[in-house]
Structure 1
Amino acid sequence: METLVFLFPQFNFLAPKEEAFFKELSPEDLQKTRMKDDMARLKADRKSRLSLVFKSGSHENVSPVKTTKTASNNISPEAALTWSDSFEELLKDSDGVETFSQFLRTEFSEENIEFWLACEEFKSIDAETKLLSKAKHMYAVFIESNSPKEVNIDHCTKVAIQKNMGQPTSSCFDSAQSKVYGLMKKDCYPRFLKSDLYLRLTSRRRAAGATMMRRRSRSCVFNERGEETSSR
């Protein structure tokens, strides 16, 4: 005699086993398990957010003014030449900041200008809750060891900033910003003025000046006394 077996897939036969497993756990064990799960989720979320910042490759996320790549043809040679007056003049010009940022990217040190811009924005924040959130974000991106865009500052300055993270003030990044500013001014800025990127922007005016001198020399002749006269 054949035996008929009826299967009911809608029934979950593993449920009693799972219920028995959780019944065997004490309340303390259940709490520890939940805490471990929560910590794992927090770590995964933090890693995900930092990876997004690292992959961005742009300072739009941290700069006070969202800048776009400026075509070199739109920058006049006269404006570009003013950047050589001083590093301060360069930072006053939005085109100068963007061009300098492009140069730093070629040297893989764009985190310096990004951090400086972030500090400028940070000092303008009035709301205490927003100040705390921004401070923690900047610390995670620029200050913390092995952070995505860690700036080159000394250990003591890092420790001082870390201590202020509980109750940050608008000046808690001033020391680090000053050090990064000095590094850019003394090290990066002189190389920028000698770079092909900058020389291309200013070469048009220099070339135009040389052409005018050549034209003038062709239009002038000298008489027997050595006096300059017009060839017209």
Structure 2
Amino acid sequence: MCRGLESLPITCLERAKELKALFASLLQKSDHSITGAGQTKKCDKLRLNIDEPLKWKESFDKLLSCQNGLCMFRAFLVSEFSEENIAFYLACEDYRATKPSKLATKAKKIYDEFIGSDAPREVNLDHVTKAIIKKNTENSTQSCFDLAQSKIYTLMEKDCYPRFLKSPTYLELSRKTRAS
């Protein structure tokens, strides 16, 4: 899974390249070893559905809900030097599932990594939103990052996602999917 890069033996970028190659090889073969609902047993680690790339275009939510789509999108953002957006979004998703006893520690970590003025992976948020989030993290609740996460989601949906759909990698995958 692409979400926790630190727990992966390979990086998301490497996985994206692997996915691209697997999709390409699946689409080139006339007899796909497909089982079930369009699934292949080509690789133990990856479950591929050859129609996935076309579904990613239906909506940003569908892209993010698909493990392979999320990984390809994250690799795209790395190539555009804006990977911090998806990393922040996913950190917020993880934060929401955190036990109440660990919220304060995790909130500080997220704030320091993505929102603070010296944050190493600072996301693009206006100063008003940053101030609200800073105040929210003082009394950490599972919803304290909701406003910032929503703004970053909208930024990705309106800006990054359309560029992803026009990227050479996505266009090549979708073209090959339609041709097969």
- Quick check: TM above 0.5? yes
Query: Could you tell me the TM-score, scaled by structure 2's length?
Result: 0.75
Q: Please state how far the C-alpha of 1:163 moved relative to its aligned partner.
A: 1.5
Alignment length, in residue pairs? 147
Over residues 202-229 of structure 1, what are the superposed CA-to-partner deviations in whole Å (9 max), with x where a residue is unaligned?
Answer: 2223344xxxxxxxxxxxxxxxxxxxxx
Matched position secondary structure for 2:5: coil
Is 1:136 aligned to residue 84 of structure 2? no
Q: Spell out the pairing of 1:180-199 with structure 2 (5 A cutoff).
A: 180-199=152-171
Q: Please state how far the C-alpha of 1:61 moved relative to its aligned partner.
A: 5.0
Matched position secondary structure for 2:51: helix
> Percent sequence identity over matched residues?
48
Distance 2:122 2:109 in 1: 12
Over residues 50-97 of structure 1, what are the superposed CA-to-partner deviations in whole Å (9 max), with x where a residue is unaligned?
Answer: xxxxxxxx96259xxx98524113345411110000101101101000
Gaps spanning 5+ residues in structure 2: where?
Answer: 24-48
**Alpha-carbon RMSD:** 2.1
Is 1:102 aligned to residue 50 of structure 2? no
Q: Please state how far the C-alpha of 1:108 moved relative to its aligned partner.
A: 0.4
Instruction: Flag the 1:165–1:205 CA change in 2: closer, same or farther, 3 A.
Output: closer
Over residues 175-201 of structure 1, what are the superposed CA-to-partner deviations in whole Å (9 max), with x where a residue is unaligned?
Answer: 000000000000110110010110121
Q: Which residue of 2 aligns with 1:74?
A: 22
Q: Please state how far the C-alpha of 1:102 moved relative to its aligned partner.
A: 0.6
Amino acid at match of 1:107: E
Over residues 87-136 of structure 1, what are the superposed CA-to-partner deviations in whole Å (9 max), with x where a residue is unaligned?
Answer: 011011010000000111111000000000000000011232x1111100
- Work out which of the two has the higher radius of gyration on C-alpha atoms and give 1 or 2: 1
Gaps spanning 5+ residues in structure 1: where?
Answer: 1-57, 209-232
Distance 2:68 2:11 in 1: 9
Is 1:88 aligned to residue 61 of structure 2? yes
Q: Which has the higher contact order (CA 8 A, sep 6+)?
A: 2
Over residues 120-168 of structure 1, what are the superposed CA-to-partner deviations in whole Å (9 max), with x where a residue is unaligned?
Answer: 000011232x111110000000000131100001111111111223221
Q: Spell out the pairing of 1:1-232 with structure 2 (5 A cutoff).
A: 60-61=5-6, 68=12, 69-70=15-16, 71=18, 72-75=20-23, 76-128=49-101, 130-208=102-180
